[in-house]
Amino acid sequence: MSAVTYTGARWGSIWMWLAFALAMLLMPRIFASGLSITLLSQMGIAIIACLSYNILLGQGGMLSFGHAVYTGLGAFVAIHALNAWCVASPAFPVSLVPLVGGVAGMVFAILFGYVTTRKSGTTFAMITLGFAELVFAISLMVPEFFGGEGGVSGNRVVGAPVLGISFGPAVQVYYLIALYTLVCVVLMYAFTQTPLGRLLNAVRDNPERVEFIGYNPQRIRYTAFIIAGFFAGISGGLGALNFEIVNAEVVGAARSATYLLFTFLGGATFFFGPILGGVLMVLAFVMLSELTKAWLLYLGAVFMLMVMFAPGGLASLIVINLRLARHGKLRALLPAYGLLAVSSVMCALGFSALVEMVYHRQLNAAMGPVLRFLGIALDTSTAAHWCGLLTYLFIVVSGFEWSRRRFALQWDMQQKRLEDERLRAAVAP
Amino acid sequence: MTASTWVPALQLRDVRKSFGKTEIIRGTDLIVHSGERVAIIGPNGAGKSTLFNLISGRMPLSGGDILLHGQSIQGKKPFEINRLGLSRSFQITNIFPKISVFENLRCSVLWSLGYGYSFWRFLADMHDANAAALALMERIGLARKRDVLAMDLTYAEQRALEVGITLGGGANVILLDEPTAGMSASETRHFVALIREATEGKTLLTVEHDMGVVFGLADKIAVLVYGKVIAFDTPEAVRADPRVQEAYLGNAVADVQADPVKRSA
C-alpha cells in the first residue's frame, strides 16, 4: 500500500488545472463576440461566488440566505477603492481592486459571522436572512456609501496602461477575471484538503461529536465563514471592475437566493458542482431571460425538479452516470434514456407552450391574441387551441410517466448489478 | 514524585443533576485511580448515561464537582474537557456519516497531534496523523472499509468506528457508553478483546448491561441506583454486597438484564 493511496490530494491534478486554464485562455478566441466575452467574464465571477458559497452550503452544511452581503459589500468597497485610490495614486494598480473587495468581504464576515456562526441549522439560516435584510435596508438608508437608487459608478481605465493593459477593452478585463478565477478555484480546492476543510465536513455531518474530539464547532464554522467571505468579496470586486457600477441590488435577497439556487443546481456535494452552477447562472440570467419573460418560472420549476429527483445537482448526475459508464452499465440504459429524453422534451414543450400562452394573454394582450411559439401560431383567444394544447399535454405527460417508470426500473436494476459486482469484488481475495 | 501518582484520574464529589424538579443524580461520590477499569451498572433510569454526560461536559452540573486529574471541569465545554485527556463514546452511534472511515478517524487524531484549525497545511503531509488513523483503522478491524462512507457501514462496524473515534485523540481517561449495545454474541466477544487491548494502561469507565462484558473489562464495579452509587468495589465484593442484592432483588423495576446475581449465577 503506497502512501499516496491514503494521503490523497493537495493541490489537485495539475493536468486538470492546466485544462481549466487552457479552456479559459481559449474561450474568447472561440467565442469572440462582445456578448460572449461579457458572458465569459460573468461566468468567472459567478464561479467564484458559487464556490465560495459552497464552502458554507456543501462543505459546512450552513444554509446561508445572505451570501450576497459579502459579494455585495466587497463590490461596494472595491468600487470606492477604484474611485479613491486608483485615481489618486497611479501606484495602486487596478488589477488589485478585486483583492480589496476580498479583504472587505473577509472583514464583514469577521463582523457578521461572529454572530451567525454561533448557531447551526435553522437558527443559522434565520440569522443570515436577518443580516441580508439589514444590510439591504442600510444600503438604501446610506446613499453616501451605497449611492442610493443609481448606485456607485466608477471607471476602471485610470492611469497609464501597464504593459499595454489599460483594462479598457472587455477582453482585458476577461483575462484578469480568468486569472482570479483560476487562482481562487485552486485555492478553494486546496482548502478542502486541509485539516480545517475536513473538520468543516465533520461539523456539517455531526457538530456535536466534533466537540468530543477536541474541537470547537463554532470556531470551525466561523473560520470557514471568514474564508468564504474573502472569496465572495473577490467575486464582488471583480464584478465591480467588470460592470463599473454597483447598486443596492448586489446585496439584495434575490442575489443571495440566486447563489443558493445555482450552487444547488450545479451540485453542492462535489467540489466542481458550483463551477457548473456558476456557468448555468450566467446562461440563465443572460440568455434564458432573453428568450422568454417567464424565465424565472422555468428556473423555479427546474429547481423544484432537481430538489425532488436529483438532490446532488448536476454534478452528482454526471458522476453517477460516469460511474455506470466506467463499469459498462450505461450502454444498457441508453434506450431507456432516449425514451426519457424524447418524452421529457415533449412535456417541456407542452408546458412551456402553456406558460407562454398564459403569459401572452396576461402581459402581451396589446400585441393581439396570436403568439408564435417555435414557429407555430397559437391563438390565445380560441378555445380549440387551449383544448388542443391540454389534450397534447395529457398525452405527453402520460407518455413521460410511462417512460420514467421504465427508466427507473432499468436504472435500479443496473445500480443493483453494479453493487453486486462491487460486493463480489470485495469478498474475493 | 509526580502529582499523577496520587491524584485520582477522576473524582466525583457530591455530583448532582436535576432536570426541572426531578433530581436524577442525587449526590454521587466516586474516585477512580489512574489505570483502573470501572464498569458502572445499575437498573434502567439509574442515571448512568446522565453521569457520563456530566463527566464529559455534555450537560452542566447542578451541584457538586468533578475533578479530572485534580482539575475541576465545572463550566468547561466538551472540547476543553477532551483536551484535558478525557474522551467518550456514545450509546447511540455518533459518527460523521458523510465522510469515509479513514477521514472519520483522521479527524479524531488531529487535535492531539497539534494540528489545530490550520488551513495552510495539507492533510496529506501530516504523516503522523495519517499513520495514526491507519493504525487505528487496523486496530478496530475496519482496514478494508477505508474509503467507505461511515453511513454505509454495518451496525457493528459503526459501533467499532464510534469507539475508534473515541480512542483517536489518545486520551488517558476513556468513557464508553454501552460499547457493545446491539451487537451479536460473537461480535461482542471480539469487541471486548479489542477494547481491552486498545485501552491498556488507560483509565476506563464503561456503562454496560451485559455482565459478560462487565466481567471481561472491569476490575471494579460501581453500582448506581436512583442517582447514587450504592457500592463500588471488586466484582466479587459487589456481587456479595447485601445492599446491591437488595437494590436489585427487592425492587420491582430492577432490570433483569443488568441483574448481576441472576446473570452470574
What confidence tens digit (pLDDT) does each residue in B76-102 have?
Answer: 999 999 999 999 999 999 999 999 999
CA–centroid distance for A166 within its chain: 30
Query: Which residues are CB-neighbours of A294 under 8 A, at least 6 positions away?
Result: A352, A355, A356, A359
Residue B10 lies in a domain: no
Residue B25 lies in a domain: no
Give residue A425's pLDDT.
76
Give residue A162's pLDDT.
74
Per-residue pLDDT band for B253 (boundaries 50, 70, 90) equals very low
Which three three-digit cell numbers place residue A188? 478553494
Range ranked top by mean pLDDT from A219-228, A296-305, A328-337 = A219-228
Instruction: Say yes or no to pLDDT of B261 above 60.
Output: no
Who among A6, A198, A206 is closest to B134 (CB)?
Answer: A6
Complex-level ipTM: 0.88
Least confident of A272-276, B113-117, B244-248: B244-248
Give the dihedral of Cα atoms A264, A268, A271, A274; nearest 10 deg: 10
CB A99 within 8 A of CB A74: no
Give residue A158's pLDDT.
80
Percent of chain A with pLDDT over 90: 60
Strand pairing class (B220-225; B37-41): parallel
Instruction: Say yes or no to pLDDT of B163 above 90.
Output: yes
Give residue B263's pLDDT.
43
Q: Among B11, B10, B66, B28, which residue's Cα sits nearest to residue B202?
A: B10
Average pLDDT of the residues in A303-311: 90
Residue B2 lies in a domain: no
Query: Which residues are CB-neighbours of B176 under 8 A, at least 6 positions away?
Result: B88, B89, B163, B166, B195, B204, B205, B206, B207
Chain B residues in contact with A219 by the CB 8 A cut-off are: 117
Higher pLDDT, B251 or A241: A241
The 10s digit of each residue's pLDDT in A146-203 is: 988 888 998 888 877 777 787 888 889 999 999 999 999 999 999 999 999 999 999 9
Give residue A426's pLDDT.
67
Q: Give the residue from chain B lying closest to A429, CA to CA.
A: B144
Give residue A181's pLDDT.
97
Who among B77, B96, B117 is closest to A205 (CB)?
Answer: B96
Give residue B31's pLDDT.
93
Give residue B1's pLDDT.
42
Query: What CATH number should be reported for the domain holding residue B136?
Result: 3.40.50.300
The alpha carbon of residue B204 is apart from the nearest alpha carbon of chain A, in Å, by: 16
Residue B224 lies in a domain: yes
Who among B56, B117, B165 is closest to A223 (CB)?
Answer: B117
Based on the structure, what is the number of domains in chain B?
A: 1
DSSP E strand stretches across B5-131: 10-19, 22-32, 37-41, 63-68, 71-72, 86-88
> A94-109 burial, b if ≥16 CB within 10 A, otherwise e?
bbebbbbbbbbbbbbb
Which three three-digit cell numbers place residue B94? 455518533
What number of C-beta contacts closer than 8 Å exist between A and B?
A: 118
Whether B124 sits inside 8 A of A205 (CB atoms) is no
Which three three-digit cell numbers place residue B83? 483536551
Percent of chain A with pLDDT over 70: 97
Instruction: Say yes or no to pLDDT of B248 above 80.
Output: no
Residue B13 lies in a domain: no
Whether A211 sits inside 8 A of B111 (CB atoms) is no
- If you average pLDDT over every residue of chain B, what do you get? 87
Give residue A418's pLDDT.
86
Give residue B96's pLDDT.
96
Q: Which domain holds residue B50?
A: 34-60+77-264
Whether B111 sits inside 8 A of A214 (CB atoms) is yes
Who among A194, A202, A209 is closest to B123 (CB)?
Answer: A194
Give residue B44's pLDDT.
82
Percent of chain B with pLDDT over 70: 91
Higher pLDDT, A69 or A358: A69
Which three three-digit cell numbers place residue A391? 389534450
Residue B68 lies in a domain: no
- The Cα–Cα gap between B94 and B177 comes to 11
Average pLDDT of the residues in A231-249: 94
Q: Among A278, A356, A209, which residue's Cα sits nearest to residue A48?
A: A278
Whether B124 sits inside 8 A of A10 (CB atoms) is yes
Instruction: Say yes or no to pLDDT of B256 above 60.
Output: no
Instruction: Say yes or no to pLDDT of A133 above 60.
Output: yes
Residue pointed to by grid coordinates 474516585 = B31
Give residue A393's pLDDT.
92
Give residue A201's pLDDT.
96
- The Cα–Cα gap between A329 and A338 comes to 15
The alpha carbon of residue B185 is apart from the nearest alpha carbon of chain A, in Å, by: 23
Residue B66 lies in a domain: no
Per-residue pLDDT band for B198 (boundaries 50, 70, 90) equals confident
Chain B contact for A208, CB < 8 A? Answer: yes
Whether A211 sits inside 8 A of B77 (CB atoms) is yes
- If you average pLDDT over every residue of chain A, what do you get? 90
The 10s digit of each residue's pLDDT in A252-295 is: 999 999 999 999 999 999 999 999 999 999 999 988 888 888 88
Per-residue pLDDT band for A428 (boundaries 50, 70, 90) equals low
Give residue A78's pLDDT.
95
Who among A190, A198, A426 is closest to B103 (CB)?
Answer: A198
Chain B contact for A187, CB < 8 A? Answer: no
Per-residue pLDDT band for B241 (boundaries 50, 70, 90) equals confident
Which three three-digit cell numbers place residue A334? 441508453
- The Cα–Cα gap between A117 and A291 comes to 40
- The Cα–Cα gap between A350 and A367 comes to 22
Q: Residue B222 forms beta bridges with which residues?
A: B40, B232
Phi, psi for residue B12 in degrees, rounded to 5? -105, 125
Chain B residues in contact with A210 by the CB 8 A cut-off are: 79, 107
Give residue B249's pLDDT.
61
Residue B9 lies in a domain: no
Instruction: Say yes or no to pLDDT of A385 above 90.
Output: no
The alpha carbon of residue B161 is apart from the nearest alpha carbon of chain A, in Å, by: 13
Who among B111, B120, B123 is closest to A198 (CB)?
Answer: B123
The 10s digit of each residue's pLDDT in A6-63 is: 445 788 788 889 999 999 999 988 988 888 999 999 999 999 999 999 999 999 999 9
